[in-house]
Amino acid sequence: MPDNTPLSSSPLSRGNEEALQLYKAELTTELDHIITYWKKYTPDNVNAGFLGRIDNDNQVTANAPKGAVLNARILWSFSAAYNLKPDTESLAMTHRAYEYIVKYFIDAEFGGVYWSVDFEGNKLDTKKQVYASAFTIYALSEYYIASGLTAAKELAISLYHLLVDKSFDPDKIGYMEAFTRDWQPISDLRLSAKDANEKKTMNTHLHVLEAYTNLYRIWQDAGLKKQVETLIDNFCDHFIDAKNNHLILFFDEEWNPKSNTVSYGHDIEATWLLLEAAEVIKDAERVGHIKGICVKIADTTVEGLDTDGGLWYEYEPADNHLIKEKHWWVQAEAMVGFFNAWQISGNQKYLELSIASWAFVKNKIVDHQNGEWFWGILADGSIMPGEDKVGLWKCPYHNSRACIEIIKRIAG
């Protein structure tokens, strides 16, 4: 565990205001680099939309499948970047992403979002993963703010109603994980091979909450507000383990825990997304409660920090096994989560930890030669081999969002 006392070499020794302005300036530059990379390398000029896979050397896999999550996150990232600093190229990219999603990913017969299509846009995996629909709602809401296109808002609302109708468990509360194309039960519920095959997951609930929060920004519906409240309470009642301040990742439909894996990135990510949700719906009581939780979880997340400022991926308590990988998205969430804890508490150590996370990203995760961020590094500092620069899971969302979030917080 790192020493959290201020260091003489810390930028905070020059004063918070100077440190914050430097942080903001560096993230403004980095956001521009990220968005520029996705504008330059990822449009599919043969088959429309965006390419499905690019490796660390910027080599394209031309026939790679295209995922709903990747495309929704592209739409969100270009829209959010445009909403922060308007420019015509980013707006054109938002239109491109929106039009591709509507044409190829929306299931006109049964509703919802296909998990993937092939490189030409033909249906590939047609299962209805609630996670994918949530990210599409999230992206469409941000795109509506950028474009003012009523059809985008209406599509987001229709997807919301569909999730409440098909996925929400009115008896035990919470959202079921996945369905067949026509919204029937499915045997394999998993987002990926590493996940447990369980009906209710923290990850999906977190991003349904994130999606509904963004939708509420453009549509202040009473039913939607109630869903946001319920999701926040799901985290307080089930997902946050009060005994250790980590998140429980998997449950069955009766809310029986099915996992004890610690995911440091999800722990710290959940803190600021929960607080954001409570603030957007203007629920003062929940805001106060969540603020206390944020600081507790931030303190617990410190357990996962290495001495170089990087945050390890996961920990398995059963066999005391630390997965010594430092993934790009985990570092991005640490930047925001620790910054959020500093804003809540005023405790200098959290601001230092946020800036240290960014310093680690600059030194180890940003690909200064080929652009964007590496997937991650191993314990010996080497780049994780065989991982995507662009892919079904490697998207511009976590890193651009971290930049945007902290830029806005410092500016505000």
**At 5, is the pLDDT very low, low, confident or very high (cuts 50, 70, 90)?**
very low
**Mean local confidence (pLDDT), 41-67:** 97
Q: Are 332 and 355 in contact, with CB atoms under 8 Å apart? A: no
Burial of 244: CB neighbours in 10 Å, binned 0-12, 13-18, 19+: middle
Whole-angstrom distance, CA of residue 144 vs CA of residue 321? 44
Gyration radius of the chain over CA positions: 20
Residues with Cβ within 8 Å of 135's Cβ and at least 6 positions away in sequence, in order, are 68, 69, 72, 73, 76, 207, 211
Match domain 11-411 to its CATH number in 1.10.10.60, 1.50.10.10, 3.40.50.1100, 1.10.3720.10: 1.50.10.10
Q: What is the mean pLDDT of the chain?
A: 95
**Mean local confidence (pLDDT), 36-45:** 98
Q: DSSP letter at 6?
A: P
What region, left, alpha or beta, does residue 129 occupy, with left being phi > 0 and alpha being psi -120 to 50 degrees? beta
pLDDT at 288 over 80: yes
At 368, the amino acid letter reads: H
Whole-angstrom distance, CA of residue 147 vs CA of residue 97? 12
**At 292, is the pLDDT very low, low, confident or very high (cuts 50, 70, 90)?**
very high
- Tokens for 223? 């039913």
Half-sphere exposure (CA, 13 Å, Cβ side) for 410? 25
Whole-angstrom distance, CA of residue 365 vs CA of residue 363? 6
**Mean local confidence (pLDDT), 272-292:** 98
Q: Are 215 and 141 in contact, with CB atoms under 8 Å apart? A: yes
**Mean local confidence (pLDDT), 290-318:** 97
Backbone angles phi, psi at 327, to 5 degrees: -85, 150
**Mean local confidence (pLDDT), 38-44:** 98
**Beta partners for 251?**
200, 257
Q: What percent of the chain has pLDDT over 70?
A: 97
**Beta partners for 221?**
none
pLDDT reported for residue 302: 98
Whole-angstrom distance, CA of residue 386 vs CA of residue 55? 8
Pairing of strands 321-323, 325-327: unpaired
pLDDT reported for residue 12: 58
231: enclosing H helix or E strand: helix 222-234
Half-sphere exposure (CA, 13 Å, Cβ side) for 317? 10
The per-residue pLDDT for range 337-360, each reduced to its tens digit, is 999 999 999 999 999 999 999 999
The per-residue pLDDT for range 125-144, each reduced to its tens digit, is 999 999 999 999 999 999 99
**Beta partners for 129?**
178
> What stretches of 246-368 show up as alpha helix (H) in DSSP?
264-280, 284-301, 328-345, 348-360
The per-residue pLDDT for range 189-238, each reduced to its tens digit, is 999 988 999 999 999 999 999 999 999 999 999 999 999 999 999 999 99
Whole-angstrom distance, CA of residue 235 vs CA of residue 369? 41
E strand intervals along 164-294? 178-179, 200-201, 240-241, 246-247, 250-251, 262-263
pLDDT reported for residue 9: 41
- Tokens for 378? 């191993």
Q: What percent of the chain has pLDDT over 90?
A: 95
Range with the lowest mean pLDDT among 15-19, 295-299, 380-384? 15-19
pTM of the model: 0.96
Pairing of strands 200-201, 178-179: unpaired
